[in-house]
């Protein structure tokens, strides 16, 4: 086939490209075989026929996946995406060429495109009706909600349903201040919460994302083959993904200019939807970024940044913000609710005998014990050796049962020994008083512990 005649007949920058399929059903080389004059003008003097594409433009795994799907799977594809590595948006169309022109494991397709400086409404409207409807609904939800957090939770829930994913969430990141926090999350299984997975989102993992995604529109892992490729680039992240039983994922940076404010994170999605996911995720993340920036959320990250780095549970800032959100109605704790205060007994003795590393290990063990019994609830390290648990939407019998089970496992002689105080209420206006009652009960329990066991050094 005369490839040059095909590209010359196109009114846009166009190229016939080849994908070499490997024996295991993947690909290795992707080459630009022939191009028209408009393509040469855009790409400059570095081009020559049959060039490996990544010798001309930055390597992009998601672009490669589209090339493979088009050339080998013979899928007709379109994408309008933010090509951050080149500082432009790319409107690209992928058209498979007949299998008759393929040569063994070498497959061909036609790619034509144009660049824009930024997202253009007319380009965005040139989408499938399903994707366009979803993006429009996203905008309506963001602008029509009573408050910012309600809108973000609605959108993230829609994304979870759209992708049939196990989890869809937004993680806010302030690299300069070394802070990060989940903004909102939705799970397929309503029993799971973001707190269950925060131990896997360590600072080493979260602050590695920016370098991993740099030069790319997003990171998409479809299967174990992609996971192994990612592992070569970011082994720390992949280790945490495997630990959390993540089999596939999408991570899209949320940008304000050149600054990454956070990420949209989707795990264990339905792989049958991969093409649609790629089509709508870029546009959805664009509007999410704009909404987050307009709400000046980064300025409030000081108060939102809610992860205690040592234990992986939420910190005191988060607890204070959580109480404020309940009181001002932004995010009320669902009634009835229980409050539990827990304080480590013997931490000073542990620090004195084994050093602060031993004390840190004891704090981590305390957090794990609380997560074992209250893993679906809101756990905070309020400071030092004190923890607070908010248990929303629970009946008193269930709350008392969980509290008693914790008491039995953390009494005198246990590896983790806790003084505990608790309070249950069905009054939405009673949260702060309930916390005060639980706090007083916890200190009473602690005093009794040291009276009964004078061999243990007091703090």
CB 339 within 8 A of CB 351: no
108 phi, psi to nearest 5 deg: -125, 150
pLDDT of residue 196: 79
**pLDDT number for residue 140:** 64
Residues 425 and 434: beta-carbon distance below 8 Å: yes
Which pLDDT belongs to residue 258? 77
- The pLDDT value recorded for residue 277 is 82
What is the pLDDT, as a whole number, of residue 305?
Answer: 60
Provide the token pair at 436: 């005060």
CA distance 172 to 285: 13
CA 6 to chain CA mean position, Å: 42
The C-alpha angle 125, 127, 128, rounded to 5 degrees, equals: 130
Contact between 281 and 252 under an 8 Å Cβ cutoff? The reply is yes
Asked if residues 449 and 370 have their Cβ atoms less than 8 Å apart, the reply is no
104 contacts 22 by C-beta, under 8 angstroms: no
Helix H or strand E encompassing 94: strand 88-96
Helix axis angle for 347-374 and 396-409, nearest 10°, is 140
3-state secondary structure of 443: helix
**Is the Cβ–Cβ distance between 169 and 194 less than 8 Å?**
yes
Scored b (16 or more CB within 10 A) or e, 55-65 reads eeeeebbbbeb
CA–CA separation, 295 vs 145, rounded Å? 13
Burial of 455 (0-12, 13-18, 19+ CB in 10 A): exposed
DSSP state of 103: B
Q: pTM of the full predicted structure?
A: 0.51
Distance CA 10, CA 13 (A): 7
Q: In this structure, what are the phi and psi dihedrals at residue 56, rounded to the nearest 5 degrees?
A: -110, -40
> What is the pLDDT, as a whole number, of residue 458?
47
Q: What is the mean pLDDT for each group of 10 consecutive residues in the chain (459 residues)?
A: 91 93 92 93 88 87 88 86 58 90 94 69 53 64 67 85 91 83 84 80 92 86 92 95 94 84 92 80 78 63 63 85 87 94 89 84 93 91 94 95 96 92 96 96 92 67
pLDDT, residue 143, reads: 61
CB 343 within 8 A of CB 389: no
Q: Residue 117's pLDDT is what? A: 52
Phi first, then psi, for residue 75 (nearest 5°) are -100, 135
Q: State how far the Cα of 268 lies from the Cα of 165, in Å rounded to an integer.
A: 5
């Amino acid at each position: 086939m005369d490839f040059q005649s095909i590209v010359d007949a196109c009114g846009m920058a166009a190229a016939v490209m080849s994908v070499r399929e490997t024996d295991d059903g993947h690909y290795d080389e992707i080459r630009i075989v022939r191009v028209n004059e408009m393509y040469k003008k855009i790409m400059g003097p570095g081009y020559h026929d049959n060039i490996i594409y990544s010798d001309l433009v930055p390597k992009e795994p998601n672009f490669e996946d589209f090339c493979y799907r088009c050339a080998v799977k013979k899928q007709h594809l379109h994408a309008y995406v933010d090509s951050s590595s080149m500082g432009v948006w790319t409107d690209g169309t992928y058209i498979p060429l007949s299998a008759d022109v393929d040569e063994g494991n070498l497959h061909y397709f036609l790619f034509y495109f144009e660049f824009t400086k930024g997202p253009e409404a007319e380009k965005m409207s040139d989408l499938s009706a399903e994707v366009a409807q979803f993006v429009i609904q996203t905008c309506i939800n963001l602008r029509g909600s009573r408050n910012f957090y309600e809108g973000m939770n609605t959108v993230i829930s829609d994304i979870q349903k759209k992708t049939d994913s196990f989890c869809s969430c937004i993680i806010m990141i302030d690299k300069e201040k070394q802070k990060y926090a989940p903004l909102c999350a939705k799970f397929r299984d309503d029993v799971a919460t973001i707190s269950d997975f925060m131990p896997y989102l360590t600072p080493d993992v979260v602050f590695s994302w920016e370098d991993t995604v740099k030069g790319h529109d997003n990171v998409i892992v479809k299967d174990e083959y992609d996971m192994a490729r990612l592992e070569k680039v970011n082994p720390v992240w992949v280790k945490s993904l495997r630990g959390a039983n993540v089999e596939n994922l999408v991570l899209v940076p949320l940008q304000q200019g050149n600054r990454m404010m956070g990420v949209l994170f989707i795990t264990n999605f339905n792989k049958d939807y991969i093409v649609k996911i790629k089509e709508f995720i870029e546009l959805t993340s664009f509007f999410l970024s704009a909404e987050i920036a307009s709400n000046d959320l980064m300025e409030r990250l000081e108060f939102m940044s809610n992860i205690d780095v040592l234990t992986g549970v939420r910190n005191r800032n988060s607890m204070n913000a959580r109480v404020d959100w309940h009181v001002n109605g932004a995010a009320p704790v669902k009634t009835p609710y229980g409050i539990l205060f827990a304080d480590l007994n013997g931490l000073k003795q542990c620090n004195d005998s084994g050093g602060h590393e031993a004390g840190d290990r004891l704090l981590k063990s305390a957090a794990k014990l609380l997560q074992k019994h209250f893993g679906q609830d809101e756990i905070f390290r309020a400071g030092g050796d004190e923890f607070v648990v908010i248990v929303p939407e629970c009946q008193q019998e269930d709350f008392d049962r969980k509290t008693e089970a914790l008491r039995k496992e953390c009494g005198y002689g246990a590896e983790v020994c806790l003084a505990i105080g608790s309070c249950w209420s069905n009054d939405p206006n009673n949260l702060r008083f309930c916390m005060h009652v639980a706090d007083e009960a916890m200190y009473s329990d602690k005093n009794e512990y040291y009276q009964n066991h004078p061999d243990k050094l007091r703090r």
